[in-house]
Amino acid sequence: MEKLKAIFKKAWPYQDDAMQLPVTDLAAAIPFYETIMGFRLVLRKDSPVKSAEFSRDDIQIGLAENGEDPTQDGCFFEVDNLEKALMELKGNGLTKELTDIKPQMHGTTSWKVFFIVSPNGLCYCLGERQN
């Protein structure tokens, strides 16, 4: 049976930079992004701070031990198919409880969304555009 895969189309950071998402322990954070989220590690650096860059479909994100609070940051990911994304994450071993898929308005755009929180505290909203 072919594995379900959603396409990640865009990433919008909650704070300033999707390439500098804060983590307290980079080595402990990496497996979640590779295994559960389906990202590919493309670069890892130890200076000026420990950091890693990941790629998936049309987006890139980065994690950094930059001293910021992970619980105050994250990204909104636009996906092509929200149900497929949810099934993929569960199939990859996501065991955290997921919120129900629900409608949300941002400006004049309607979305279907759900939220997940990574083990390092970053919050992610996955959404599929409805109009």
Instruction: Give the model confidence (pLDDT) of 51-103 as tens digits.
Output: 999 999 989 999 999 999 999 999 999 999 998 999 899 899 987 556 678 89
* Strand order from edge to edge, sheet including 40-45: 21-22, 59-64, 51-56, 40-45
Cα–Cα distance between 116 and 74 in angstroms, integer?
10
Architecture of 8-129 per CATH? Roll (3.10)
Residues 6+ apart with CB under 8 A from 48: none
> Which sequence spans correspond to the domains of the chain?
8-129
**Residues 2-21 pLDDT 10s:** 567 999 999 999 998 999 99
